[in-house]
Amino acid sequence: MTPPENTFDDLLTEERTFDPPEEFRAKAHVRDPEQLERAKSDPEGWWAEWARQLDWFKPFHEVLDWQPPRARWFHDGELNVAHNCIDRHLDGPKRNKAALIWEGEPGDTRTYTYWDLHREVSRLANGLRSLGVERGDRVAIYLPMIPEAAFSMLACARIGAIHSVVFGGFSPESLADRIDDADARVLITADGGYRRGNVVPLKRNADEALERTDRVEKVVVVARGWNVSRTTGTRMVPDRDVWYHDLVEDQSADCPAESMNAEDPLFVLYTSGTTGRPKGIVHSTGGYLTQAMATTRWVFDLRDEDVYWCTADVGWITGHTYIVYGPLANGATVVMYEGAPDFPRRNRFWEICEKYGVTVFYTAPTAIRAFMGWGEEWPGRHDLSRLRLLGTVGEPINPEAWMWYREHIGGNRCPIVDTWWQTETGSILITPLPGVTTTRPGTATKPFPGISATLLNEGGEEVDSGYLAITRPWPSMLRGIWGDDERFRETYWSKWDEGTYFAGDGAKRDAQGNFWILGRVDDTLNVAGHRIGTMEVESALVEHPAVAEAAVVGRTDELKGQAIAAFVTLREGRPRSEELVVALKEHVATKIGAIARPADILFTSDLPKTRSGKIMRRLLRDIAEGKALGDTTTLADPAVVERLKERYEQEG
């Protein structure tokens, strides 16, 4: 593992700074740095104050039990997440407030008040109970961006079942692996969903997945629309499959919420790591919800009248924390959109912003770069004057994109919050607070109150350029990797002492103490804001009968941040061909999902290896980036890499 090179040196000379506009500051939740003093002097007491804003069925007395790397927050208390996201808003003015405003890609819309949400979630929760789902059971969710995705998550939370949402773009094989790993007995899916005018045949994928695993006993199928079912030819397996609408039809809207221990798992969410197998990140009930609520309110300065839209998919952590749990715990109005940003035209997002009067908008740098490429005339057609705050997440944002976002979406008036966090951290850890922080394009600025972050070198000394480390526990931190304690300790808590969290990112700190995140330092890639393990792609490639060996690296991509470049050695007697390149790309997309499709494949008879046989990915990265080759003296055969570089330049 090597820290990233100083590719972002020019960033640190970024001189443009933006203070919070006075009008914004005057009304912001956090407008005075003094409000942050308590978090500094007594972080645990400060987090406990947030936790006490939730409804507890049994109050907690102890805030934190920290036996590194095991943290237990509020662990003698009991609560229910669905109760906190829904029921507690029903006795006041929020009862008839829109909780969810949903728009399908074809243009159909549905709106649910908090009262409606309570009914929908309770009926589904009772439906799941009728299928035999109990506290602690795992339920896999493989759905498009439709309201039922949120209902399903909340219904699980209501009855204490642990959900495992699998992104709808993942392949049947990826779905089957995740079902197996978490031992899920029930799967909730849909006949299909819309994407760029086409129907994604989710049920067909799910059926294929279920041919690979026999764990699932019941499949609940949402009818996204009868047209969809006709298109996909949805086939229901007797005794196993049940239509969602049939399941909930006769269920009561009264479903008492289970009283859960604060440390009971709320969900498992899989993310890529350095091995071929994704890891199931486990999140808790009380600590997770506390920090999801706190960060949503303070980072997005959320107020009652806001219309808040996070464009992520619920299949990722951003969708969990900032579409469902954080906003609903705050009683906010959430916009949810099913489809692509350029369907039917490239103004779809801005049309939605105008139509619903979106005030807070949260998206990814990769999307912003696409908007930039499409041109400002698209947002220019719409009245975006209601927007008051913009956010970004998922990867480093280049200053040019940040400035474009500020000018063309934010009308030079909206503060931008560049939020750094991960699947593992559960919620935002490094971010501006829009009423007090001076922002600069390209930096996520400072740790959220109550969070202690720093930069360390290999030896654990504090430095201004090194590995990002979190030095105190935080409420929404991961509680483990599902079924793999050893990997949990090894991956996150073994680099320095057992109480210091290794985030896997390299970063720099400037004279003002701002953090500039440079990117991953492990063998994972960040493609369009999504983490993909190089080993996962390599394993998929070598499963192809023509492939003997493969090495995968990331190269810079203007739009997606990184693109996947694969160096492939073929088995003896397998000829190289353009068709094989296409077939291998397709093979990876089928095995993992379209997000993992390699951009480049280069055949080679040798890979650069050390004398002990380790593939030198660093050199392959240099080749893929078109850079001068670094130190090649440790190679078994330095000529290999020279030849490869020449070929890549010709063919790549």
Smallest distance, ligand PRX to C-beta of residue 383, A: 28
Q: One-letter amino acid identity for 570?
A: L
If the CB atoms of residues 199 and 368 are measured against ligand PRX, the closer one turns out to be 368
Smallest distance, ligand PRX to C-beta of residue 453, A: 12
Question: CA-CA distance, 147 to 257, in Å (whole number)?
Answer: 20
If the CB atoms of residues 229 and 318 are measured against ligand PRX, the closer one turns out to be 318
If the CB atoms of residues 64 and 360 are measured against ligand PRX, the closer one turns out to be 360
Residues of this chain that interact with ligand PRX (CB under 6 A) are: 271, 317-318, 393-396, 418-423, 444, 503-505, 517, 519-520, 526, 530-531
- Candidates 239, 184, 165, 231; CA nearest to 204 is 231
Query: Residue 233: in which H helix or E strand, if any?
Result: none
Smallest distance, ligand PRX to C-beta of residue 574, A: 35
- Residues facing residue 549 across a β-bridge: 569
What phi and psi, each to the nearest 5 degrees, are found at residue 48? -60, -35
Smallest distance, ligand PRX to C-beta of residue 522, A: 9
Smallest distance, ligand PRX to C-beta of residue 253, A: 34
Classify burial at 399, counting beta carbons within 10 Å of its beta carbon; exposed 0-12, middle 13-18, buried 19 or more. middle
If the CB atoms of residues 105 and 395 are measured against ligand PRX, the closer one turns out to be 395
If the CB atoms of residues 209 and 299 are measured against ligand PRX, the closer one turns out to be 299
Classify burial at 211, counting beta carbons within 10 Å of its beta carbon; exposed 0-12, middle 13-18, buried 19 or more. exposed
Smallest distance, ligand PRX to C-beta of residue 421, A: 5
- Residues facing residue 565 across a β-bridge: 553, 600
If the CB atoms of residues 71 and 269 are measured against ligand PRX, the closer one turns out to be 269
36-67 residues labelled b (16+ CB within 10 A) or e (exposed): beebeeebbebbbebbeebebeeebeebbeee
Specify whether the CB–CB gap between 464 and 509 falls below 8 A.
yes
- Residues facing residue 194 across a β-bridge: 199
Smallest distance, ligand PRX to C-beta of residue 188, A: 22
Smallest distance, ligand PRX to C-beta of residue 431, A: 8
If the CB atoms of residues 318 and 465 are measured against ligand PRX, the closer one turns out to be 318
Specify whether the CB–CB gap between 366 and 395 falls below 8 A.
yes
If the CB atoms of residues 348 and 531 are measured against ligand PRX, the closer one turns out to be 531
DSSP 300: T
Smallest distance, ligand PRX to C-beta of residue 12, A: 15
Smallest distance, ligand PRX to C-beta of residue 347, A: 26
Taking CB positions, which residue lies at the least distance from ligand PRX? 423
Structure tokens at 408: 């063309």
If the CB atoms of residues 218 and 440 are measured against ligand PRX, the closer one turns out to be 440
If the CB atoms of residues 297 and 587 are measured against ligand PRX, the closer one turns out to be 297
Place of tokens 């005057």: 26
Taken in order 429, 433, 439, 442, the sign of the CA dihedral is positive
If the CB atoms of residues 315 and 339 are measured against ligand PRX, the closer one turns out to be 315
- Residues facing residue 184 across a β-bridge: none
If the CB atoms of residues 225 and 442 are measured against ligand PRX, the closer one turns out to be 442
Smallest distance, ligand PRX to C-beta of residue 316, A: 6
Q: One-letter amino acid identity for 216?
A: V
Q: How many alpha carbons fall within 13 Å on the CB side of residue 478? A: 29
Smallest distance, ligand PRX to C-beta of residue 420, A: 4
What phi and psi, each to the nearest 5 degrees, are found at residue 417? -105, 115
Contacts (Cβ under 8 Å, ≥6 apart) of 12: 508, 510, 516
DSSP 161: P
Question: CA-CA distance, 124 to 157, in Å (whole number)?
Answer: 11
- Candidates 141, 167, 136; CA nearest to 152 is 141
If the CB atoms of residues 133 and 334 are measured against ligand PRX, the closer one turns out to be 334
Smallest distance, ligand PRX to C-beta of residue 15, A: 20
Smallest distance, ligand PRX to C-beta of residue 300, A: 14
Classify burial at 599, counting beta carbons within 10 Å of its beta carbon; exposed 0-12, middle 13-18, buried 19 or more. middle
Pairing of strands 465-470, 453-456: antiparallel
If the CB atoms of residues 127 and 341 are measured against ligand PRX, the closer one turns out to be 341
Specify whether the CB–CB gap between 89 and 95 falls below 8 A.
yes
- Candidates 320, 278, 336; CA nearest to 591 is 278
Terminus-to-terminus CA distance in the chain, angstroms? 26
Return the number of other C-beta atoms located less than 10 Å from residue 227's C-beta.
14
Smallest distance, ligand PRX to C-beta of residue 68, A: 21
Structure tokens at 530: 């999504």
Smallest distance, ligand PRX to C-beta of residue 516, A: 9
If the CB atoms of residues 356 and 402 are measured against ligand PRX, the closer one turns out to be 402
If the CB atoms of residues 362 and 496 are measured against ligand PRX, the closer one turns out to be 362
Is 444 in a helix, a strand, or coil? coil
Question: CA-CA distance, 632 to 216, in Å (whole number)?
Answer: 51
In DSSP notation, 595-652 reads GG--SEEEE-S---BBTTS-B-HHHHHHHHHTPPP---TTBS-HHHHHHHHHHHHHH-
